Structure 1
Amino acid sequence: MPLDTMPMEPKAEAGTPMLTGHGAKLVKITIALTDLIKQETELLKQRLAREAQKLHGQKNRLMAEYRETLNHLQVNEKLLGPKNSPARQYIRKITDKFREVLRDHARIVLRLKSVAEGIIKSVGEEVVKKNRPVVGYGKNAAFKTPAQMQPTSLQLNQVI
């Protein structure tokens, strides 16, 4: 759900404290980021990197808002009440879910990265094999020293 269409104050569910101001904004942004990262993870699992890449703008905007709101709350800790208040416990619960989704996302991204690096390494090794000079004997029955080869480099220039 886009952040702009979400209500500013989340509706209180059973056992959910009513949050206002920056606390409510933090919860709203955290939930939106969690949903967006879940969606991106699913797209990456389905090998739809281009579709996942389309979510980067929205994700970056939400991350900036999250960081700003979190910094504001850290400076003004008293806005959330005492240390073990229901509001803080609810935010902690939402944040724990967010961290779990981030861990899953990181696993998928690292797995895809290692696969891409393996493919690039294999292609590079094959190119080196194909371009390897033939070593043989020269006129005086000594090994010919191969001429200096130009290095072959490969580059993957795409961000996932």
Structure 2
Amino acid sequence: RGMARTFQITEVFPELSVADNIRVAVEIAAGYRLRPWLGRAKRASVETRVSELLVMGGLADKTGARVGALSHGDQRATEIMMSLALRPRLLMLDEPTAGMGDQETYDIARLVRRLHRQAGLTIMLIEHDMRVVFNLADRIMVLAEGRVLAEGTPQEIADSDKVQAAYLGKAAA
């Protein structure tokens, strides 16, 4: 088991249902490579895993919905659950809340926190929304102009004069 990642631009199959998007990922992760026919036991195993991921992602009520018709937040949640079909230990998320309103941002942050706790995942995320970062992160690395400016706990970062000078325009002491 290794790692999985999502990209800043959501990568889903918009014409397929939520369940079918996740099913594609589960079948590929199981090594079935979209075979046109699976035996009963394999099909049951795939359906069980699809159901688990739908519930874990908070998508069980959207199973048959066409992904392209869903909100950006639900599309992102679908993509994250597709990544989890690989059963990674490390999940890397590239700006998971980019382009989202407050409620969608909150929902995705809750999903990420739930996945960390329930699935025991280590999650590394690149994010510019500081509310999300301070709400989710155990450790934060701040970059400025391609260099590490500061690294530490959320409180250490919040208290950093260097970070405040770089991002809030305050003079460093």
- Would you call these one fold, judging by a TM-score over 0.5? no
Structure with max Cα Rg? 1
More helix by share: 1
